[in-house]
Amino acid sequence: MAFLELDNVSAAFGPATNQTVVLKDINLSVEENEFVAIIGFSGAGKSTIMSLLSGLLAPTTGEVRMKGEVVKEPGPDRGLMFQNYSLLPWLTVNDNIKLAVKTAFPKLRKAELDEKIEHYVKMVKLGHAGERRPHELSGGMRQRASLARTLSLDPEVLLLDEPLSALDALTRSELQDQILNIWETDRRTVVMITNDVDEAVLMADRIIPLTMGPEATLAKEFVVNMERPRDRQTLNDHPEYMRLKSEITSFMMQLNKESKELSTSAVIPMPDVRPKDFTPISGSPRLKNKPAQPGTPRSAA
């Protein structure tokens, strides 16, 4: 039995008469303590997979299971971090985390609550910014606050939906290291969405591409057989890193090409519609009262 599974899942949106099938035949088995990365193009359905895993969205067909139990709703065992931070703007960093912790652990005493908040805020190096509101933080700090909030729920599974997408390269590397650190010390299970092949190879045990939508499905997986901790300084010279990066990139480019071919090979006949002729008939009263064209100076009357 896998720790977290998607069993023949499909997801469709829209009314029954006109549904768009975004995901089809999705099968995914994630083992406990594994780090799985899903990569795919924009709009393919990556966030929809996260919504299914977290229980925010019910599959149209198939089943989502965690430890063998069917997932029917979101739960504190699955912590979802969205790509757009989703912090409450009127609350400080500390209070954003406090709200999450209080919801997940309502019986915590004040001292324990404060200790937990401090622990996670420090873990993402935001100790100095705990009393700031989201608009007073940089994008990277918001991502970190959002990560701290997700971690503070102490979930068994971390569902990270493009958690680093809005960051500059340096901050991104820093947060990648922090996530890896947390994963290695606390031994969580992680499913991370990314569109960055380098990031996926650096961080994951397995990388699974999502094909282009509609009816996107998970393609063959790439296993990352590289020792940990992975040293980003020497990674570029690692033969396995280079091989994987090149194979995955070629695979994704092929997916993109096939999808373009599909979309251009479909010829849709269009009705022969011609624009109506609105040329004014000469002598028409409308011409006499013609308004001034934008940009032409109005003449003095």
Ligand X SMILES: Nc1ncnc2c1ncn2[C@@H]1O[C@H](COP(=O)(O)OP(=O)(O)OP(=O)(O)O)[C@@H](O)[C@H]1O
- Residue 42 or residue 282: which is nearer to ligand X going by CB? 42
Shortest spacing between CB 268 and ligand X, in angstroms: 19
- Residue 13 or residue 90: which is nearer to ligand X going by CB? 13
**What are the two backbone dihedrals, phi and then psi, of residue 226, each rounded to the nearest 5 degrees?**
-130, 140
CA-wise closest residue to 22 among 5, 2, 3, 41: 41
User: Which of 26, 39, 44, 202 is the binder for ligand X (CB under 6 A)?
Assistant: 44
User: Which of 43, 76, 127, 139 is the binder for ligand X (CB under 6 A)?
Assistant: 43
Please state whether beta strands 69-70 and 78-81 pair in parallel, antiparallel, or not at all (unpaired): unpaired
Other CB atoms within 10 A of residue 155 CB:
20
Shortest spacing between CB 234 and ligand X, in angstroms: 31
Q: Per-residue b/e over 232-244, b at no fewer than 16 CB within 10 Å?
A: eeebeebeebeeb
Query: Residue count at the site for ligand X (CB under 6 A)?
Result: 11
User: Which of 15, 16, 17, 42 is the binder for ligand X (CB under 6 A)?
Assistant: 42
CA dihedral 107, 64, 199, 79 (to 10 degrees): -10
- 209 sits near ligand X (criterion: CB under 6 A): no
Shortest spacing between CB 256 and ligand X, in angstroms: 13
- Residue 22 or residue 64: which is nearer to ligand X going by CB? 22
- 45 sits near ligand X (criterion: CB under 6 A): yes
CA-wise closest residue to 38 among 244, 206, 198: 206
Sign, CA dihedral 125-126-128-130, equals negative
- Residue 48 or residue 92: which is nearer to ligand X going by CB? 48
CA-wise closest residue to 158 among 35, 3, 38: 35
Q: Which stretch binds ligand X (CB under 6 A): 39-47, 90-98, 144-152, 198-206?
A: 39-47
- 100 sits near ligand X (criterion: CB under 6 A): no
**What are the two backbone dihedrals, phi and then psi, of residue 297, each rounded to the nearest 5 degrees?**
-65, 140
Shortest spacing between CB 16 and ligand X, in angstroms: 14
Q: Tell me which residue has tokens 């934008």.
A: 294
User: Which of 46, 142, 149, 188 is the binder for ligand X (CB under 6 A)?
Assistant: 46
Residue pair 90/170 in contact by the 8 Å Cβ criterion? no
- Residue 22 or residue 148: which is nearer to ligand X going by CB? 22
- Residue 25 or residue 156: which is nearer to ligand X going by CB? 25
Two tokens, residue 276: 């109506």
**Which amino acid type is present at position 214?**
P
- Residue 22 or residue 66: which is nearer to ligand X going by CB? 22
- What binding mask, one character per residue, do residues 47-86 give for ligand X by CB under 6 A, x or -? xx--------------------------------------
- 210-249: contacts with ligand X (CB under 6 A): 213
Tally of CA atoms within 13 A in the half-sphere of 181 that contains its CB: 9
- 176 sits near ligand X (criterion: CB under 6 A): no
Two tokens, residue 41: 């193009």
- 40 sits near ligand X (criterion: CB under 6 A): yes
Cα–Cα distance list, 301 to 15, 22, 295, 298 (Å):
59, 63, 18, 9
Please state whether beta strands 157-161 and 4-13 pair in parallel, antiparallel, or not at all (unpaired): unpaired
User: Which residues lie near ligand X (CB under 6 A)?
Assistant: 13, 22, 40, 42-48, 213
